[in-house]
């Protein structure tokens, strides 16, 4: 790819990561509820998930999903289920649905899972990242494209995690739980809205 293409791709990845969404809410809540280390670990896990998505797109996910559109729907519904689950747990408990004695490893796995099943991520890579894919690209170029997407995402989400830490310092624990419950309601509402949109596509 040309230098201009790399710059365009980097800006698109930055715009995608920086736009607030479902993953933002979850990483923010994770950091505010369980601490900076867990939040940053979740951010790094999210970055890895994005890199995996980027690499699978580069190595053929776009073509696969075009050939098997039902797979797109399956991934989307899986994402909806996870969003509603996280949202429900936040509403009833006011805390992230993660083990009580949380390790950074658990946060990393949660962040990775959020990235993999987030419908917004799937749409981004198919609509925005996909056009940059070229079968003529070298292996090094393809790997670099995936690493670029993951690196930018991880950097942005570390910032989101740090924002959650600031939130925790500014608010009492009771108010943090209230914020988490509001985030939970937003997640459930988002999941329901995405579900309705998907169902309407079949009608």
Q: Which long-range contacts (C-beta less than 8 Å, at least 24 apart) are formed by 93-102?
A: 94/176, 94/177, 94/178, 94/180, 94/181, 95/33, 95/177, 95/180, 96/26, 96/29, 96/30, 96/33, 96/34, 96/180, 98/30, 98/34, 98/38, 102/34, 102/38
Token output for 116? 């993999």
Reported pTM: 0.70
Measured N-to-C along each axis, helices 104-117 and 22-34 cross at an angle, to the nearest 10 degrees, of 170
Give 82-126 pLDDT, tens digit per residue: 778 777 877 776 665 555 555 567 788 888 888 877 767 777 777
User: Is residue 111 within 8 Å of 49, Cβ to Cβ?
Assistant: yes
Give 44-71 pLDDT, tens digit per residue: 999 999 998 888 877 776 566 566 666 6
| pLDDT for position 69 | 65
């Amino acid at each position: 790819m040309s230098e201009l293409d790399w710059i365009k791709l980097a800006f698109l990845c930055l715009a995608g990561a920086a736009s607030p969404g479902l993953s933002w809410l979850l990483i923010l809540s994770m950091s505010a509820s369980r601490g900076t280390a867990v939040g940053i670990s979740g951010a790094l896990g999210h970055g890895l998930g994005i890199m995996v998505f980027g690499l699978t797109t580069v190595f053929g996910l776009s073509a696969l999903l075009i050939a098997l559109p039902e797979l797109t729907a399956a991934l989307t519904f899986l994402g909806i289920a996870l969003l509603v689950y996280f949202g429900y747990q936040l509403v009833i408990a006011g805390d992230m649905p993660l083990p009580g004695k949380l390790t950074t490893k658990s946060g990393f796995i949660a962040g990775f899972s959020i990235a993999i099943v987030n419908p917004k991520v799937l749409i981004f890579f198919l609509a925005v990242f996909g056009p940059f894919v070229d079968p003529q690209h070298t292996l090094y170029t393809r790997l670099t494209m995936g690493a670029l997407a993951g690196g930018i995402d991880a950097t942005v989400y570390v910032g989101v995690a740090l924002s959650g830490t600031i939130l925790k310092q500014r608010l009492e624990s009771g108010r943090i739980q209230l914020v988490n419950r509001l985030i939970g309601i937003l997640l459930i509402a988002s999941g329901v809205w995405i579900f309705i949109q998907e169902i309407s596509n079949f009608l």
